Amino acid sequence: MPDLHDYLNLRLTAACEQWRSILNRKPVAEGSRQVVFLPVETLTCLAASLLVNHRQYGGSTAHRAVEPVPTLARLFRRPNSSVLAKMANLDGSRRNGAKHEVEVASRLLAEPGQLGAVYRLLLTAARSVGIGPEALPDFLGLADDEDDLLLLGQRELDETDVAAAVRPAVDVWRASRADLDERTTERLLMAAVRVGQHRFASEVLRNHGHQCVFCGLSVSLPEKRAARMLVASHIKPWRACNHAERLDTRNGLTACPTHDVAFDTGLMTVNGGLRIHVKPALATAVETDPATRAAFGRPPLAEWLLLPNGAKPPRAKYLAWHRQYIFEEATH
Quote the CA–CA distance of 262 and 252 in Å, as a whole number: 15
In sequence order, the β-bridge partners of residue 232 are 254
pLDDT tens, residue by residue, 116-141:
999 999 999 999 999 999 999 999 98
Burial (0-12, 13-18, 19+ Cβ within 10 Å), 65: buried
| Over residues 203-207, mean pLDDT | 93
Q: For 214-245, what is each residue's pLDDT tens digit? A: 999 987 655 555 557 899 999 999 999 999 99
Partners of residue 253 on adjacent β-strands: 233
Region 139-150: mean pLDDT is: 78
In angstroms, the CA 243 to CA 68 distance is 25
What is the value of pTM for the model shown?
0.82
pLDDT tens-digit series, residues 243-258: 999 999 999 999 999 9
- Which comes out higher in pLDDT, residue 18 or 173? 18
pLDDT for 190 equals 87
Residue 266 has pLDDT above 80, yes or no: yes
Mean pLDDT of the chain: 89
pLDDT tens by residue, 61-74: 999 999 999 999 99
Q: Is the pLDDT of residue 330 over 60?
A: no
Q: Is 296 exposed, middle or buried (0-12, 13-18, 19+ CB in 10 A)?
A: buried
pLDDT value of position 26: 86
For residue 314, the model assigns a pLDDT of 97
Kind of pairing between the strands at 268-270 and 276-278: antiparallel
Percent of the chain with pLDDT over 70: 91
Phi, psi (rounded to 5 degrees) for 113: -60, -40
Between 303 and 221, whose confidence is greater? 303
What is the pLDDT, as a whole number, of residue 33?
Answer: 78
Cα gap 205→201, rounded to integer Å: 6
Q: Which of 3-7, 28-32, 308-312 has the lowest mean pLDDT?
A: 28-32
